[in-house]
Amino acid sequence: MMPLCLLAAGLVAGSSAAALDEARTLLDAWQLEDALALAEKALAARPEDPQTWVLAAEVLHQRGEHLGALALFDAANQAGAELPVPLAALVEGSARYQSAFETVETAHFKVRYLNKDEIVADYAKAVLEASYRNIAGDLAFLPAERGEKIVVEIYPDARGLAAATGLTLKEIETSGTIAVCKFHRLMITSPLATASGYDWADTVAHEFTHLVISKKSKNTIPIWLHEGIAKFYESRWKGKLGEALSPYGEKLLANAVRTKKFITFDEMHPSMAKLSSQEDAALAFAEVFTVIEFLTGKLGAKSIPKVLELAAQGVEVEAALHQVYGMPLKGIEAAWHKYLGARKFKDVPGAAPHKIRLAANETEAQAEAPIEEMEDKPAHDFARLGELLQLRNQHQAAIVEYEKAYARAGVRYGTLVNKLARAYVTVGRADAGLKVLDALLGAQPDDADAHLLAGRIAYDKHDAAVARRHYEAVRFMNPFNPEIHAVLAKLYEAAGDTATAEREKAFFTLCTKPRPTRTYELPPKASGNATVSIVAPRWDSVRIDAGLPLATPWWRQPLDAGPHSVEYRRQDGSVAVRSFTLTAGQSQTLMLE
């Protein structure tokens, strides 16, 4: 018969393992708040259990506290615990940036950024809170009402995004993936890392929608439906639902209907980032957008949150769709294809994608784009000659060549149209420039250079409202051009908005400074002949010896032997200071109350 002490130990070990498994299941279901509550109890009950440290690290990682997570992983590894190797690598990838990140907070978000991305972070505050009100409100799920703000991380380049998400640089560039919602966080790439910016504000709203879907459904929604809802709802932060289908997306869909060549739902799994080209990704997004367009047209927008609610209750997604829409998935696909066959697509001549191209450095990102390679060789030759003449300040002659290229290519190539418009403006033909820019923006509404030129023309004509509209549009695509901040500062000042004008002046100054060159490495490890582990209430941050804030649980922090103090917040929110003394070789654990 097993001794009672061993039986009791076995029961405790079994219940411990079950609690850890339950917490991980909650993390997988995007229920961070519930996983945190379980992890807090587990660590309080078993503060010396390395497997509990591993769980605590996973929770901290999802809270955006990567350095604390890494310290826990290191301690668990030294104790011989088994680590989730791929996740540990991603934690380290994010931790390399965390020590350099600065943070700005809103009511529901923590936005982390580096130096010049202060501009993006500041603009993002309004975008995120509008998304929270409108998108989360429409989906009937507010994801930050239980004390956990949503963490948003702006990585300075694609390498940072890759290190944090597990995507490869090739996948990022091939598919045009520039942002990811994963691990309960929104992660985006700085527009400064791309050759001509990208629609980062819509992208943030899109990724936030993914987070709402994941939390509301407990992560039970397949990728095609996930992306369809996110794409259909992303425009809601600034306007109505269902306004995110671009002219190029309509063009791709119309062609797919004609040729019957679609990206299948299975091909979209496990991620749109895995598709073989930006064109395939654009078609896939357009397809799933119209699936939601079809479903909401059938039963209204409130049917979407109903599907998510049923999925969260454990109803299989196909059964949930059947229950809400009265059709099995195959029936929905068939009805959707029939819908597409009858749908009228806008035929916008020259509709083309805004391809995301990564920049090698900041200078390339801010340089004027050269003429694109054109399939029509005569058009390309005319455009190239015009470009050479323009570089030699022979603008009238350049216009002659550009117009020949434009007559053949229309607005398909944004760089051609923008160079033609610049030449028109230079010789005093601003109205002609505005005419071709309006045509370009009708086909390619995300062309930041076209908005910039149109804003410049409007400003010179003293049309403040139109100028402001164009310059503000550029902010949400490529906010690192000093001109937009200089002009917006003047426009806001003239309108009496001095506070916003001062912000734009500060951004102008920030834009003119190069991003500091640095490599992102882990901070050097602290030294000392003793260690301390600290757990604060609600796993809040603490200050040891009045130093920088440290997220807890902070594990095995080296300190010198002697007296120390830790400042923390109690459960009631009041600030307290606790003194403690370490002796050489000691490892002390402080459970603060």
Do 189 and 294 lie in one domain? The reply is yes
Of 62, 31, 65, 24, nearest to 214 by C-alpha is 31
pLDDT in the model for residue 15: 54
Do 440 and 487 lie in one domain? The reply is yes
pLDDT in the model for residue 8: 35
Q: What is the mean pLDDT of residues 63-85?
A: 95
* % of the chain exceeding 70 in pLDDT: 97
Question: Is 357 within a domain?
Answer: no
Do 392 and 306 lie in one domain? The reply is no
Residue 319 CA to residue 263 CA, distance in Å, equals 23
Please write the tens of the pLDDT for every residue from 493-552: 999 999 999 999 999 999 999 998 888 999 998 899 999 999 999 999 999 999 999 999
* Number of domains observed in the structure of the chain: 4
pLDDT in the model for residue 378: 95
Do 210 and 171 lie in one domain? The reply is yes
How many C-beta atoms lie closer than 10 Å to residue 333's C-beta?
Answer: 15
Residue 534 CA to residue 578 CA, distance in Å, equals 11
Residue 273 CA to residue 220 CA, distance in Å, equals 19
Please write the tens of the pLDDT for every residue from 234-263: 999 999 999 999 999 999 999 999 999 999
Do 400 and 506 lie in one domain? The reply is yes
Q: Concatenated DSSP letters for 344-404?
A: PPP--TT-------B-SSHHHHHSPPPPPP-SSHHHHHHHHHHHHHHHTT-HHHHHHHHHH
pLDDT in the model for residue 519: 87
| Tokens encoding 457 | 């023309």
The enclosing domain of 76 has a CATH number of 1.25.40
Question: Is 520 within a domain?
Answer: no
Do 338 and 419 lie in one domain? The reply is no
Please write the tens of the pLDDT for every residue from 26-36: 999 999 999 99
pLDDT in the model for residue 19: 86
Please write the tens of the pLDDT for every residue from 152-183: 999 999 999 999 999 998 888 888 899 999 99
Do 408 and 505 lie in one domain? The reply is yes
44, 78, 96: which is the final residue of a domain? 96
pLDDT for 10 beyond 80: no
Q: For residue 591, give the 3-state DSSP assignment.
A: strand
Write a three-state SS string for 413-442: CHHHHHHHHHHHHHCCCHHHHHHHHHHHHH
- DSSP 3-state helix, strand, coil percentages of the chain (rounded to 5)? 60, 10, 30
Do 50 and 158 lie in one domain? The reply is no
Of 225, 215, 223, nearest to 309 by C-alpha is 215
Of 86, 71, 63, nearest to 523 by C-alpha is 71
Describe the strand order of the beta sheet including 562-569 as a list of residue ranges.
549-551, 541-544, 562-569, 575-582
Do 31 and 113 lie in one domain? The reply is no
pLDDT for 13 beyond 60: no
Please write the tens of the pLDDT for every residue from 190-227: 999 998 899 999 999 999 999 999 999 999 999 999 99
Domain range for 321 is 102-342
Question: Is 358 within a domain?
Answer: no
- Return the H-helix or E-strand segment holding 218: none
40, 71, 96: which is the final residue of a domain? 96
Q: What is the mean pLDDT of residues 62-85?
A: 95
pLDDT for 404 beyond 90: yes
Of 490, 564, 551, 518, nearest to 63 by C-alpha is 551
Locus of tokens 């009805």: 335
67, 96, 125: which is the final residue of a domain? 96
Do 260 and 139 lie in one domain? The reply is yes
Q: What is the DSSP letter of 194?
A: B
Of 189, 197, 40, nearest to 552 by C-alpha is 40
Per-residue confidence at 284, pLDDT binned at 50, 70, 90?
very high
Greater pLDDT, 111 or 351: 111
Q: What is the dihedral of CA 425, 427, 430, 433, to 10 degrees?
A: -60
Per-residue confidence at 460, pLDDT binned at 50, 70, 90?
very high
Helices (H) and strands (E) in the chain, counts: 26, 12
The type of residue at 360 is A
Per-residue confidence at 369, pLDDT binned at 50, 70, 90?
confident
Per-residue confidence at 83, pLDDT binned at 50, 70, 90?
very high
Residue 330 CA to residue 160 CA, distance in Å, equals 40
Residue 258 CA to residue 390 CA, distance in Å, equals 41
Do 219 and 171 lie in one domain? The reply is yes
pLDDT for 104 beyond 80: yes
| Tokens encoding 31 | 């229920």
Mean pLDDT of the chain: 93
Residue 444 CA to residue 355 CA, distance in Å, equals 11
Q: What is the mean pLDDT of residues 570-575?
A: 92
Question: Is 517 within a domain?
Answer: no
Q: For residue 496, give the 3-state DSSP assignment.
A: coil
CA 220 to chain centre: 21
Residue 122 CA to residue 113 CA, distance in Å, equals 10
Q: For residue 145, give the 3-state DSSP assignment.
A: coil
Of 243, 214, 240, nearest to 227 by C-alpha is 214
- What is the chain's length? 593
Question: Is 173 within a domain?
Answer: yes
Q: What is the mean pLDDT of residues 3-25?
A: 62
Q: Point out which residues pair with 550 in neighbouring strands.
A: 542
Do 16 and 131 lie in one domain? The reply is no
Q: What is the mean pLDDT of residues 369-384?
A: 90
Question: Is 521 within a domain?
Answer: no
Residue 398 Cα distances to 386, 414, 433, 440, 450, angstroms: 4, 16, 14, 19, 19
Question: Is 56 within a domain?
Answer: yes
The enclosing domain of 154 has a CATH number of 1.10.390.10
Question: Is 349 within a domain?
Answer: no
The enclosing domain of 376 has a CATH number of 1.25.40.10
Q: For residue 133, give the 3-state DSSP assignment.
A: helix
Describe the strand order of the beta sheet including 587-591 as a list of residue ranges.
554-559, 530-535, 587-591
pLDDT for 9 beyond 50: no
pLDDT in the model for residue 356: 83
| Tokens encoding 427 | 């010789």
Residue 381 CA to residue 33 CA, distance in Å, equals 60
